[in-house]
Chain A
Amino acid sequence: RLFPNVSAIPPSVLNNVTRGAWDAYKNFTGCRPGSTYDGLSKLKNYFHRFGYIPDSSSNFTDDFDDALESAIKTYQKNFKLNITGQLDNSTLDHIVLPRCGVADIINGTSTMNSGKENASATSTNTRFHTVSH
């Protein structure tokens, strides 16, 4: 599937476009915490894969539970979306985007926005102490 030039893509390929691997997640738009939805475990696997739900020894259920809500909030924070904890349109539009397979959170440590904010808070405290002194 390497096309040497954008204009060299054969018509047979153009006429046979496959759906994206995560397009079906859009069906979860509007799902709310506390309820159960068929296939929601797949979305949990997505969040698990990228580090938003910690390692679990058991299979994920289809319940919209606290772990999923927390994962969504962290995801929204990392991608600077509105932090609602819900599967709103803008969040799911972002989730289905193609992406790098490297996790955003590794061994419980966010490699993205959350960690940076902690570092910033420390810096702010340091400056505050300097001013007080």
Chain B
Amino acid sequence: YTYFEGTPRWPDGTQTLTYAFLPGNGLTDDVKNVFATAFDRWSEVTTLSFSEAESYNSADITIGFYTGDHGDGEPFDGVLGTLAHAFSPTNGRFHLDGDEDWVVSGDVTQSSLSTAVDLESVAVHEIGHLLGLGHSSVEEAIMYPTIAARTRKVNLAEDDIEGIQNLYGSNPNYNGTSTTSSRQNDSSH
């Protein structure tokens, strides 16, 4: 695991971070639930928790799908290529490329569409950035920079957990194995 330059993080004492979705995207509850699950994966191992905010403008973390040049100097490039990006703490912006073929549920590995991208896998990775993690060279880690289409990778690896716990501490209820069974299900899924 690595951190961004200067090791930016959310301030001491932060317990709950709020997130909100770009209203113009009109996301369904199913899509929003994917992000909620992705946030849960991080809160299971740290002292942080996450909740959806009513107001987009006052949320700590803002999530939106954009295409092409969307004003932050990092334009998206169409199908595949760059899938998403997020900013380091405490910026909170999380952008996804609206041109991708995002799959919300089901076994993406069995998709007939060669460009299908698992939404939760990318969400878990970008949340790592939002919390302060940089990229990792550990291929099994969520914070590894690349992910092939039709791949599902949502389980935090030891490398991810160690990195985030060094920043925010460990969830007192986390014993290192409590979520293993559900994650194994996800892996087989």
- Give me the interface of A with B, judged by CB distance under 8 Å: 1-9, 13-14, 17-23, 50, 78-80, 94, 97-102, 104, 106-107, 109, 111-113, 115-116
Contact = CB atoms under 8 A, between A and B. Distances in A.
9 closest A-B pairs by CB: A21-B81, A6-B106, A101-B85, A111-B134, A20-B80, A113-B137, A101-B82, A97-B146, A99-B146
B54 interface: no
Contact of A9 (B2, B100, B116): B116
Interface stretch (B36-44, B45-53, B107-115, B177-185): B107-115
Chain B CB within 10 A, most for which of A1, A7, A80: A1
Given A9-B116, A21-B77, A111 B2 contact: yes
B104 A100 contact: no
Nearest to A9: B113
Given A17-B115, A50-B145, A109-B5, 6 more contacts: A3-B104, A13-B113, A17-B113, A21-B78, A98-B83, A98-B149
Contacts of B115: 17-18, 20
A25 to B, nearest CB: 10
A78 B141 CA distance: 14
Contacts of B110: 6
Contact of B105 (A6, A78, A112): A6
B16 to A, nearest CB: 24
Contacts of B102: 1-3
B85 A100 contact: yes
Nearest to B88: A102
Nearest to B101: A1
A112 B81 CA distance: 20
Interface string B73-89: 01011111111111000
A21 B82 contact: yes
B31 interface: yes
Nearest to B99: A1
Contact of B74 (A4, A23, A97, A101): A101
Nearest to B104: A4
B79 to A, nearest CB: 4
Interface in B110-137: 110-117, 119, 122, 125-126, 129, 134-137
A28 to B, nearest CB: 16
A76 to B, nearest CB: 11
A10 to B, nearest CB: 10
A102 B100 contact: no
Contact of A99 (B78, B116, B145): B145
B80 A98 contact: yes
B174 interface: no
A101 B28 CA distance: 25
Chain B CB within 10 A, most for which of A17, A112, A116: A112
